[in-house]
Amino acid sequence: MTNKYNIPQMGFGTFGRTGPEGIAALQFALETGYRHLDTAQSYDTEYECGEALRRSGLPRAEVFVTTKITGVNCARSRLLPSLMKSCETLGVDRVDLTLIHWPVTPGGRLDMPAYLTELAEAQARGLTRLIGVSNFTIADLEEAKTILGPGRIANHQFERHPFLTNQKLVNYCLYNGISVTCYLPLARGVCAGDPVIEAVAKRHVATPHQIALAFSLAQGLIVIPTSGNLERIAENFAARDIRLSTEEIAAIAARNNNARQINPGWSPKWD
């Protein structure tokens, strides 16, 4: 762990991990050594996360659980009841980290003072240990700081991989003491076949996917890859042991071409 909030750097994303097959993948991830499960109200995997955690036999304190508040539940007076429901579905007294999933919806911007005030109240009530955001811009983060005060946001989750390094946003977060979680850290598999990444992988006797993960891990960032394939789940976890050189990190960073994978038409104005 390299962040002050003790958030495990290697997390397991749970989007798409539904039903019995999803529970099996989550169980295997925990057996492999993952100690960070990333879910969301909109993923419909909170139950699967809780069931896998129960079946694992691991003490609750050993597994870091993140969930995200969906847009409809950011409306005034909805956030707290929705988070209580998430905790009930997960079968936990509290989650470790609660994020606002998006600052916008297809209908427009959400009421930041309303949802951040309730998010802070959720933390005060002990429903969540840490609070944070997802898919915010620097302008959004600055606005959030005026509402909550400095140092309240523990984590920001956004798309980040070798082809979208988002370095301006990463630098802002790290300067302001906000840990960074990279979603889609494998860029949906397109790292495979890239000549630079393939060359680095060959030197390390690793896969391109492992190198993509090692790239963000080397910079102290949190990654949350996911898979339903047990071999790939273990392979991703093994990326923790890869140590890239400064030159290799720079070469991979140079592959950035702002190739954003998640970009709905109603997205905020990205940095």
- 67-to-41, 55, 89, 198, 200 alpha-carbon distances in Å: 7, 20, 11, 34, 34
Tokens of 211: 């190198």
Q: What would the DSSP string read from start to end of 5-31?
A: T---SB-EE-TT--HHHHHHHHHHHHH
What is the 8-class DSSP label of residue 133?
A: E
Catalytic entry in 34, 43, 172, 183: 43
Contact indicator for 162, 215 with CB cutoff of 8 Å:
yes
84 alpha carbon, distance to own chain's centre: 21
Q: Could you write out the three-class secondary structure of 220-246?
A: CCEECCCCCCHHHHHHHHHHHHCCCCH
d(CA 16, CA 23): 11
Tokens of 145: 């700081």
List strands edge to edge, sheet with 222-223.
12-13, 36-38, 64-69, 95-100, 128-134, 155-159, 179-183, 222-223
d(CA 195, CA 174): 30
Q: Which residues contact 124 (CB under 8 A, 6 or more apart)?
A: none
Told to judge if 183 belongs to the known catalytic residues of this protein, a careful annotator would answer no
Residues acting as catalytic residues: 43
